[in-house]
Amino acid sequence: MNSKLFRRFIPLQRSCFFKSLHRFPIFNNGLEISYNYRCLHTSQRCFADRIIPKNAKSGSSFEWLKRQLNDPYVKKARYENYRARSAFKLIEIDDKYKILKPGGTMIDCGASPGAWTQVMVKRCYPQGDPKNKNGTLIIAIDISGIAPIEGAAVIPNTDFTNPLNQAKIITLLRDRKVDTVCSDMAPKASGQAELDQPGIIKLFLSALQFSIQVLKPETGNFLGKLWEGNRTKELCMLMENLFENVNIVKPPSSRCDSSELFILGTKFKGIKYG
């Protein structure tokens, strides 16, 4: 076999000898995506370095599909039964900052398709408490649809920025104070920063303003999504007036070529009147 062909595969064990090489097409949602190679007479399985879509309809869909098929977090999300790769962003943030409280009250704004809510349910319900005696409450809301998630109160097809809908959440809380509010809300991106920035800032401020009303003083946390821009520093300064600790966070699972970042405020100072 031509030695150049072997360079296309992940490094193989030197002791592995092949009598023949078979080629099998792989399909994903009806799209043919490159090939999987199996080496006969061994247990060794060889894969091409990257999976390349064969029949995507346009250049942009080709690039998106190629990225999805080769994204380790997409594969990991399927394996661990999360609805989206974004689950690992919250997991990584919580591993470092411990913002999800077992037995606590959490709100997930912009929850669709529900990956962050799944993480909240998994981390906030104490083990050995199937009847939820500790009173964990998780509320998920999104302007799009969200399939039901066991352990969470899901509010689909609802605009969080509408004050009437925020009042519904407060009713669900029944005078509880909230441990953590997370906002992964973002508008549909046009690709032009001057158009996209105002939209995501508006959503960020809406979630922050709501958080001020419901967070527990001294221990409450707020996590909000932004796209990096010239107002990031200004928003951090605003957060510093409200929280003891403020951090700009870009978790490892956030794509390197994305301008996405999160501002995390911990230990809510509370609002003093008079």
Which burial class, exposed, middle or buried, applies to 65 when counting CB atoms under 10 A from its CB (0-12, 13-18, 19+)? buried
Whether the CA torsion 150, 155, 156, 161 is positive or negative: it is: negative
Amino acid present at 68: Q
CA dist., res. 271 & res. 242, Å (int): 8
CA–CA dist 231, 176 (Å, integer): 33
* Neighbour tally for 141: CB within 10 Å: 26
Q: Which of 89, 101, 216, 225 is catalytic?
A: 225
Contact 259, 230 (CB under 8 A): no
Q: How far apart are CA 110 and CA 188, in angstroms?
A: 12
Residue 262: DSSP 8-state:
E
Task: Say how many C-beta atoms besides its own lie within 10 A of residue 54's C-beta.
Answer: 15
Q: Could you tell me where the DSSP H helices lie in the chain?
A: 3-6, 59-69, 72-79, 87-97, 115-124, 163-173, 193-214, 232-240
3-state secondary structure of 251: coil
Give Cα 271 distance to the centre of its chain: 30
Shortest CA distance to 104 belongs to which of 92, 91, 128, 121?
A: 121
| Distances from the Cα of 180 to the Cα of 97, 129, 206, 213, angstroms | 12, 21, 15, 12
Tokens representing 151?
Answer: 């352990």
Indicate if 225 belongs to the active site: yes
Active site residue ranges: 225
